[in-house]
C-alpha cells in the first residue's frame, strides 16, 4: 500500500474582502481534488457577490472588483452551503483536505455559514470527520529553523512547486496540495508512518506551540497582538457580524 501523500487529496482555498475572519467575506472559493500526483485535478469553483463593499486593497490582491462580483457573483447563502456540502463529500470519501493556513479559511467559512443561517461548519462533519493537512503548520514544524517567510508563494519556491495565477482560489488550492505532497516526500522518514488522521491531531499541537512562540516574540518586541492557538478552526461565536 502506497503512502498517503501519493494518494487522493483534496484542497480548499478562498479569496476574501480582507483578513478579519469575524467580519470579512468570501468572494471566491475553490475545491480541488487530485487522485494521484501528476493526474488531472477536478476543480469546483464559486464566485460570490458578498453584499458588502470590496476594498481596493483586497481587489489589488485577487483582482476581483466589486462591479465584477455584483454582475457575476452569486448570493452568499446557497454558495456557503454548497461549499460545506462539498467539503463533507470529501470527508465522507476519506480524502484529507489540504488548507493553507487552515484557521483563516475554515473559520471564515464557518462565520459565513452562521451569518447566513446555514449552521456552523462543524455540524457538517458529524457523520464523517474532517481531516486537515496544513502546509504552513507542517513546514514550520518539520523545518522549524529555516529562516524566511512561509507564505504560499514562499513555500512553492522552497519546494519547487509551480504556482500560476497566485491569489486565484483554484490555483492556490492546487499549489497548496502539491506543497503538502512535496513536504511529505522530503520528510518521509518522519511522516510516512503517520496517517492523515494522526497528523491532523498532531498539527493542532504543533500549531498551538507555534502560536505560543509567536506570542512570546510579540511580547519581547512590545507588540500588542494576540495569537489564537486554535487549529484548524477557531472557537465558535454566538453569531457573526
Domain boundaries, the chain: 4-193
State the pLDDT at residue 241: 46
Of 92, 133, 118, nearest to 4 (Cα)?
Answer: 133
Hey, CA dihedral for 154, 158, 160, 161, is it positive or negative?
negative
pLDDT below 50 — which residues of the chain?
A: 240-241
pLDDT tens for 100-112 read 999 999 999 999 9
Cis peptide before 18 (omega within 30 of 0): no
pTM beyond 0.85 = yes
State the pLDDT at residue 1: 52
State the pLDDT at residue 23: 96
State the pLDDT at residue 236: 78
Largest CA distance in the chain: 51
pLDDT tens for 168-180 read 999 999 999 999 9
CA distances from 137 to 35, 55, 57 (A): 23, 29, 27
Q: Cell triple for residue 235?
A: 472557537
- Asked if 221 and 229 touch (Cβ cutoff 8 Å), the reply is no
- Asked if 205 and 141 touch (Cβ cutoff 8 Å), the reply is no
State the pLDDT at residue 240: 47
State the pLDDT at residue 238: 57
Instruction: Answer whether CATH 3.20.20.100 is correct for domain 4-193.
Output: no
Average pLDDT along the chain:
95
What DSSP assignment string belongs to the chain?
A: ---GGGS-EEEEEEEES-S-TTT--EEEEEEEEESSTTSPPEEEEEEB--SS---HHHHHHH---HHHHHHHPBPHHHHHHHHHHHHHHHHHTT--EE-TTHHHHHHHHHHHHHHTTS--GGGGGSSS---EE-HHHHHHHHTTT--S--SHHHHHHHTT----STT-HHHHHHHHHHHHHHHHHHTHHHHTTS-HHHHHHHHHHHHHHHHHHHHHHHHHHT---------SSPPP-S---
Amino acid at each position: 500500500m502506497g503512502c498517503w501523500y501519493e494518494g487522493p487529496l483534496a484542497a480548499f482555498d478562498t479569496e476574501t474582502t480582507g483578513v478579519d475572519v469575524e467580519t470579512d467575506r468570501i468572494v471566491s472559493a475553490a475545491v480541488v481534488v487530485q487522485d494521484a500526483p501528476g493526474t488531472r485535478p477536478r476543480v469546483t469553483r464559486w464566485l460570490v457577490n458578498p453584499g458588502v463593499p470590496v476594498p481596493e486593497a483586497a481587489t489589488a490582491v485577487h483582482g476581483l472588483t466589486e462591479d465584477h462580483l455584483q454582475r457575476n457573483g452569486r448570493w452568499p447563502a446557497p454558495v456557503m452551503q454548497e461549499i460545506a456540502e462539498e467539503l463533507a463529500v470529501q470527508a465522507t470519501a476519506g480524502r484529507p483536505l489540504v488548507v493553507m493556513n487552515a484557521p483563516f479559511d475554515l473559520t471564515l467559512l464557518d462565520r459565513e455559514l452562521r451569518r447566513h443561517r446555514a449552521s456552523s461548519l462543524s455540524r457538517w462533519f458529524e457523520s464523517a470527520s474532517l481531516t486537515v493537512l496544513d502546509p504552513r503548520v507542517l513546514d514550520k514544524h518539520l523545518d522549524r529553523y529555516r529562516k524566511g517567510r512561509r507564505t504560499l508563494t514562499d513555500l512553492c519556491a522552497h519546494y519547487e512547486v509551480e504556482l500560476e495565477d497566485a491569489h486565484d482560489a483554484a490555483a492556490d488550492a492546487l499549489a497548496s496540495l502539491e506543497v503538502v505532497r512535496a513536504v511529505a516526500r522530503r520528510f518521509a522518514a518522519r511522516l510516512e508512518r503517520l496517517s492523515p488522521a494522526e497528523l491532523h491531531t498532531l498539527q493542532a499541537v504543533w500549531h498551538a506551540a507555534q502560536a505560543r512562540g509567536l506570542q512570546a516574540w510579540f511580547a519581547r518586541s512590545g507588540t500588542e497582538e494576540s495569537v489564537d492557538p486554535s487549529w484548524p478552526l477557531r472557537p465558535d461565536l454566538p453569531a457573526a457580524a
